[in-house]
A and B are shown apart, each in its own frame.
Chain A
Amino acid sequence: MKISQRLFDMIPNMSVNNKDRLKILNKIGDYMGRPFENRLIMGATAIATQPFIDEHNKRVDKETARTSRNRTIGKIIAGTAVGCIVRSGVYKLIQKTTSEDISIDRWDNFLTPRGSSKVSPHLQKNRLRNYRTVAATLIAMFVMIGTNILFDVPLTTRISNYLNKRDAKKKVQMGNADSSTNTNKYITPAKDRIKDKFNLSSGGLS
């Protein structure tokens, strides 16, 4: 325990003393915790790092590295788009169907747990908030098993195939450009020109 306290003491005590700054921080926390925004942040950082890491993988040949990079780009774009739509949709559905008023069965309390009314009002709000998060996550998980096969995979394949095609085209264009520039720029060295003119062998004058 003493060692833990010593380790803990290495972290300086910090405090947010500015009211406006605290407001901003709390807003950031709230914003990053939302399903749509959270998925978007993860997707944006993923597209900034993962393709770079895949492309610079020196343990495989260049073509495999590029193909894997293209598939990663496709996977991130498809995963982020589908994930954002599904998560935010499910979260909104849960918000709209979990009203605290359960006196009569209605659509707006369709998914409200009936047992929540037995909990003390002080705890009810917090537990209902947790329930909404769990219910949204569980429903989103089941929905995403379907959307993974129906949308994610075909979209990933399409995007990666498109990027592979574009890469192949670029490669061909670059190859053509290289060959044309090579023929234009290639100047026979003077020594070789003399050899060609007088039909001399490479061993020297004989």
Chain B
Amino acid sequence: MKIPIQVKKVTDFIFDKWSKDIGSVLIWTTIAGWVASSSAQILGILRNSKYTKEQKNFMIHQEIGDAAINIGSFFIITTPLKKMASKLVKTGKVTTFAIKRPIRKHGDIKKLGLIDFDIKKLPYFSSELEKQFNSFNNFMGTSAAVLGGILSSNILTPILRNRYASDCQAKKKELFSHNKYSYKQISVNSVELNNISKPKQKKSPFETFKGKSLTV
């Protein structure tokens, strides 16, 4: 078989652009996924005939809030947690005996936990040490991502999105009732104005007999 040149170009582009640092692309794909999912769910709510107008109004705002707050809380909670976990491993604040062993051997044990210390930049960062480091870093990073994801997407987002959706619903209700009231006021006023602008003119007594023949 022959692989099309377009496929080769696309795979090379992905490899050159994102294989060194996957962080940014993962963030953007996650955000795109949330936006796509929420848009589809909004369509689903709109098409579901079994919901009342009020329920639809609440749930559409809930979906919009879900996507927006998910994105916000991802940047506020998950990303810093992941960065913090990476920093803890990189500086040796949280480490393992297998990583510590060569560091102790080279007399750098006191540097562990210093904010500027970077295990990856050590001259004796061998492939064996790299393997140990990557495995532990992977555990810490994944744990932080899962913890951050649970905190932000499963706890904070539902609380805030419900608050946002109910506020929106209440505002809409208020606006609707206000419009209804003002409509009534306007209609009453317009009737009154019409009455004022067009006062009933008194008919002259002769007008009553206009066109009628008088028989004596």
* A interface residues with partner B (beta carbon < 8 Å): 1, 4-5, 8-9, 11, 13-17, 19, 22, 25-26, 28-30, 32-33, 38, 41-42, 45-46, 48-50, 53-54, 57, 59-60, 63-64, 67-68, 71-72, 75, 79, 105-107, 109-116, 122, 126-128, 130-131, 133-135, 137-138, 141, 144-145, 148-149, 152-154, 156-157, 160-161, 164
Contact = CB atoms under 8 A, between A and B. Distances in A.
Contact of B19 (A29, A109, A134, A137): A134
9 contacts: A4-B115, A11-B88, A22-B98, A26-B138, A49-B158, A50-B154, A59-B170, A144-B37, A148-B41
Interface of B: 1-3, 7-8, 11-12, 14-16, 18-20, 22, 25-26, 29, 32-33, 36-37, 40-41, 43-45, 47-48, 50-51, 54-55, 58-59, 62, 88, 91-98, 100, 112-115, 127, 134-136, 138-143, 146, 149-150, 153-155, 158-159, 162-163, 166-167, 169-170
Contacts of B153: 42, 46
Given A68-B62, A141-B29, A157 B48 contact: yes
Contact of A145 (B3, B36, B45, B88): B36
Contacts of A141: 29, 32-33, 36
B33 A144 contact: yes
B14 A131 contact: yes
B16 A115 contact: yes
Closest 5 CB pairs of A and B: A29-B139, A113-B15, A59-B166, A153-B44, A148-B40
A73 to B, nearest CB: 12
Given A42-B154, A45-B150, A115-B12, A15 B96 contact: yes
Contacts of B18: 130-131, 134
A13 B93 contact: yes
Contacts of B112: 13
A11 B150 contact: no
Contacts, number: 199
Contact of A14 (B12, B41, B94): B94
A148 B37 contact: yes
B165 to A, nearest CB: 8
A-side binding surface: helix, strand, loop or mixed?
helix
B60 to A, nearest CB: 11
A50 B158 contact: yes
Contacts of B139: 25-26, 28-30
A96 to B, nearest CB: 15
Nearest to B134: A126
Contact of A46 (B95, B114, B135, B154): B154
Given A148-B40, A157-B44, 7 more contacts: A15-B96, A19-B97, A107-B1, A128-B19, A131-B14, A144-B33, A148-B36
A40 B115 CA distance: 35
A114 B3 CA distance: 11
A112 B26 CA distance: 20
